Amino acid sequence: MNHLITFMLMICSLTATAQQKTTEQEQQKQHTEKHRPQFHFSPPANWMNDPNGMVYHKGVYHLFYQYYPDSTVWGPMHWAHATSKDLVSWENKPTALFPDSLGYIFSGSAVVDSLNTTGFAKNGEIPLVAIFTHHSPKPELEKIKKNQYQSLAYSLDDGDTWTKYEGNPVLNNPGIIDFRDPKVMWHEASKKWIMTLATKDRITFYSSPNLKEWAKESEFGAELGAHGGVWECPDLFPLDLNGKKVWVLLVSINPGAPNGGSGTQYFTGSFDGKTFVPESEETKFIDYGTDNYAGITWSNTGDRKVFLGWMNNWQYANVVPTTAWRGAATLPRDLKLVQVDGKTYLSSTPVKELDKITKSAYKKSNVSLAKEVDLSKYIANAKGQFKVDLSFDEAESFSITLSNKLGQQLIVGYDKEAKQYYIDRTQAGQSKFEAGFAKKHLAPRISQDKQIKLSLIADVASVELFADNGLTVMTDVFFPEETISNLKVASPKNKKLSEINVSRIESIYK
């Protein structure tokens, strides 16, 4: 009998080890699939869109995201969950929120309710509260434009498990077809929660003492900003500008972005707990590439504001040529305010935590640009994962060409006459999946500096351009059929590169 038990235990343990091995092998396989981002967050499998519920709590960055576990195309939305201690490597957690009788779980935010205003904590825990849109698929509700409303879920174990509030929904729909994506923050001056909600073609602000009862405060934007599509996924937060508090309002729009499809515009101004007053009529975009959408910032990070977007575009998100998964996040970015010619702009720069996986391969000052500068050998073993920092001595036109053995090439550059940066992905690899994909995208140069400094970050299937310290940003995905192995810089009129720094970026997968 004892032998039999020992034998059974042995079999069990062998099976467990074999299972563990298979999971490890599967994970390994997942991370080596064609086009799999190596240092951007992407779901292990299946569909991902907007980042949701981003909250920093007890040293952990929580990232929830729009997720459909049954397919690689959009479907009934869940909130998947991943966590990170450094914004670089991510641990996948069990799915946090599942669709229920009130509908799918659309986008939203999460806050730390340290004062227990909700009363969800019974034994001194600190509740994490998610505020999200329930989207009902019932046609009769859609007919009367009441199929989207706001609900709550809370966690009393630091985000591990979530309970939906029995009083859901907490904010009913007054009859607006697009009524969604609540971003909630604590407004210290008025000691109230403020919900910034996308309501079709404008933003509506609501306030609440306890996250459960909401009162409408004001509307913003029906006549301001870009209106080529529906407004979605807003965010509202203050940033310091030379000792002054300036409020930033992010509003995603789909379609109607400068280079087509989805994009994120922003406004700067003041907010008194009731009304947002813009300080300018200008329409500005946080990113002029085609692949940064629905981005918002982490809550509870103090003065630091870290932004993350969905690295995709609704124009082709459902058909991009990846197999086991679809969708990824942009790099996390620090947001700051900068003044240029008396106007206020947002700058985004990759978080400094990325330095941990960034290994310098080549550094040189004062390089002549009389001929094309070939940097290919410094990225030869980089598997398409690298960063190049360049300083041009003058703001003359230039081009940076990334190419592979098949001759597929992506060109990032600056056109002095037009005062525009660009990313040209017309010949960058697979593009047949969508007619508008193979295009050249343009972005205004905002900076008036004499020199141009930039950082270009390439992962297996994306590039992110941070020009002029993040004043002009472009994020584009692309699908080369071989790894990028050549990197060349050319600039007919510039005399020299005052600084070159090429680095390899390590994979976040073991």
Query: Residue 264 or residue 408: which is nearer to ligand FRU going by CB?
Result: 264
- Site for ligand FRU, rule CB under 6 A: 49-50, 66, 77, 106-107, 133, 180-181, 232-233, 294
CB of 231 to ligand FRU, least distance (A): 9
- Give the Cα-Cα-Cα angle 451, 455, 459 (nearest 5 degrees): 160
Residue 283 φ/ψ, nearest 5 degrees:
-95, 120
- Specify whether 50 is catalytic: yes
Nearer to ligand FRU, 77 or 320 (CB): 77
Contacts for 129 with CB less than 8 Å, ≥ 6 apart? 110, 111, 113, 118, 120, 152, 153, 154, 211
Q: Of 182 and 429, which CB lies nearer to ligand FRU in the complex structure?
A: 182
CB 343 within 8 A of CB 282: yes
Q: In the complex, what is the shortest distance from the CB of residue 148 to ligand FRU, in angstroms, rounded to a whole number?
A: 8
Residues 6+ apart with CB under 8 A from 293: 50, 233, 252, 254, 257, 262, 263, 264, 309, 310, 312, 313, 314
Q: Which is nearer to ligand FRU, 75 or 269 (CB)?
A: 75
Closest CB 273 distance from ligand FRU, rounded Å: 25
Q: Which residue has the tokens 């939305």?
A: 77
- Give every strand in the sheet of 386-392, ordered side by side: 358-368, 496-505, 386-392, 452-459, 462-467, 472-477
- Tokens (6 digits) for 75: 């479907």
94 with 84: CB under 8 angstroms?
Answer: no
Shortest distance in whole angstroms from residue 45 CB to ligand FRU: 18
The CA distance from 263 to 208, in Å, is 30
Cβ proximity to ligand FRU: between 37 and 108 the closer is 108
CB of 41: closest distance to ligand FRU in angstroms?
Answer: 16
Vertex 468 angle, CA 467 and 472, to 5°: 55
Please tell me the distance from the alpha carbon of residue 509 to that of residue 289, in angstroms, as a whole number.
27
Q: Which positions are annotated as active-site residues?
A: 50
